[in-house]
Structure 1
Amino acid sequence: MADFVTIERGLGPDGRVAVVRFDRGDGINALSPQAMRELTDAARSFEDDTKTTAVVLTGTAKAFSAGFDLKNEELRARNTMDTGTLRHHLKLGPRLTKAWYDMEQVTIAAIEGFCVGGGIALAVALDFRIMARDAHIRVPEIGLGINMSWQTVPRMLHLIGPARTKQAVILADQRITAERAYEWGLVEQVAEPGKAFDTAYSFAESVAAQPPLPVLMTKQTVNRLTGALDDLTSHMEMDQYALALKTDDRVEGVAAFLEKRKPRFKGR
């Protein structure tokens, strides 16, 4: 039984819309291992669902997701894991985003508040993103001494191009506003504050009103053509991440974040 994720099916035209709600009850929707496993299971639950055409993924009114839960004990234990155990544990995130990316149904993220790190990794694995005007996106991984992974870089590259992807990922402290995200092509629509879900749901209804089979086949064709080389270009992400975890800069980045101060990186 899921504690953080609920699924509603049979909504919209001919019952072809479903809604997945992610709410950890912590105010920020941080991605703990349990949350990642539940969200992965939610995506996989649609594998044999031939009734649903469109799925809306939404967080809370305050946050889509703050990303990786740096205070979670299971995740903090990565610092002491042997390499084999660590590589296995690092599959949690890529497995989550791949499960959502591989879904046959058309997927729409409804973003309120903030969408940070692993949150944006999840959002760009979906087909469309609807963002509230007062919401923001941030990619903090490099500022924490690690690389951005979970196949996020190639997916962002397809959406916004090389220069914008570098800007979003490298400038880790930079907030990307909804207007800028729309201008870049990172989100498809900007909604009024508090209306991201309603707008996303209306979009899902429009998708669900189309003939289901051509919709699903079109999505599959576009995804296969666009992401044909994604596995090749990102195959070293996990090992790069594991290597970065062992650096002094990673220790400093996390310590600075938790202590709410500027990090002092030394390139080692």
Structure 2
Amino acid sequence: MKIDEILNQGWQHFNLSLDNKILTVQLDTKGFERNDFDASVIDELRQLGVLLHRNIDINVVLLCGRSDVFSFGSDPKAFKLRFSPETMLERRHDVMPGADMAEAWSKIEAITIAAIDGRCRGAASVLSVACDFRIMGEGVEFFFPEVPNGMILGWGAIPRLVELAGPSRTKQMILFGEFLSATICEKWGLADEIAPAGESHIVAQRWAEKVTNLPPLAVRMTKEAIDTYSTALHASAAVADRNRYLVAGHIRAGLLK
């Protein structure tokens, strides 16, 4: 699908703009003050990732939120709905879209950059680590609240975090669920540059312009080679990841003891 067709799809939960082969995706989840995700937001982001997979009309996808908040991640109300269907098969089906969304974004051939300001929580943090680079503004609160709330972190995030930060730091950030500052994120390999508060998009735009001035075929082939080497075991981890997420969700919902 050509980029003009993608731009005119009538997306409900983000705004798209294109300039110099840089596609900016600004999260604007209607009805959610904090850019929360629900099933429809996740599905649209998955659809967009799939459509952009091998698109050659773009060199960079720049994902951002607002200057005061990237996203609070999954809407807590959506959690109960995931485990309301009667059969285990139906429930398993209902927890798949988040992992599919993150995987779709990780497979986009163009370079992907997340520009993060304010709070970035849970599902939104998972989406950001599926991108190639992360630019964080000062004052960022980046965290994964799942384990302290009786869940496990899913959606393929664990192997990606281990790749970025190493096993010990991944355990720290997931088990404790504490806010990570932009400085800590940079030290741990989660942030590639720190911007002034509210200006992550400006710095990310500079990164995007550097990328789009490079030979696009060489960029795509290099990204593919690096990702292939570094994520060779991710697929096997993702299968177990989805099943663990399902079981843990049932325990938290009181469906298993």
With normalisation by structure 2, the TM-score equals: 0.91
> Displacement, 1:3?
1.2
Stretches of 4+ aligned residues off by more than 4 angstroms: none
The reply on whether 1:2 has 2:11 as its aligned counterpart is yes
Contact kept? 1:30, 1:67, Cα under 8 Å? yes
Question: For 2:16, what is the secondary structure of its paired residue?
Answer: strand
The letter for the 2-side match of 1:46 is: L
Q: Structure 2: state its 5+ residue gaps.
A: 1-9
How far apart, in 2, do the equivalents of 1:27 and 1:183 lie? 31
In the TM superposition, what whole-angstrom CA distance separates every residue of 1:3-33 from its partner, at most 9, and x where no partner exists?
1112212x1xxx2211111111422111100
The letter for the 1-side match of 2:133 is: F
How far apart, in 1, do the equivalents of 2:33 and 2:133 lie? 24
Q: Structure 1: state its 5+ residue gaps.
A: 253-267
Partner of 2:7: none
How far apart, in 1, do the equivalents of 2:176 and 2:69 lie? 21
1:83-122 alignment, distance < 5 Å = 83-122=88-127
How far apart, in 2, do the equivalents of 1:48 and 1:154 lie? 24
1:185 pairs with one of 189, 192, 211:
189
Number of aligned residues:
245
The letter for the 1-side match of 2:216 is: P
Question: For 2:26, what is the secondary structure of its paired residue?
Answer: strand
1:221 pairs with one of 221, 225, 233:
225
1:71 pairs with one of 45, 60, 77:
77
How far apart, in 1, do the equivalents of 2:108 and 2:62 lie? 12
> Displacement, 1:245?
1.7
The reply on whether 1:176 has 2:180 as its aligned counterpart is yes
Measured on the aligned residues, the alpha-carbon RMSD in Å equals: 1.6
Partner of 2:150: 145
Partner of 1:258: none
> Displacement, 1:223?
0.6
How far apart, in 1, do the equivalents of 2:14 and 2:189 lie? 28
> Displacement, 1:80?
2.4
Contact kept? 2:83, 2:253, Cα under 8 Å? no
With normalisation by structure 1, the TM-score equals: 0.88
In the TM superposition, what whole-angstrom CA distance separates every residue of 1:148-194 from its partner, at most 9, and x where no partner exists?
1111000000000000000000012x110000000111110100011
How far apart, in 2, do the equivalents of 1:232 and 1:68 lie? 25
Partner of 1:260: none
Contact kept? 1:128, 1:188, Cα under 8 Å? yes
Describe the shift of the 1:122–1:246 C-alpha distance in structure 2 as closer, same or farther (beyond 3 A).
same
Identity of aligned residues (%): 29
How far apart, in 2, do the equivalents of 1:47 and 1:78 lie? 27
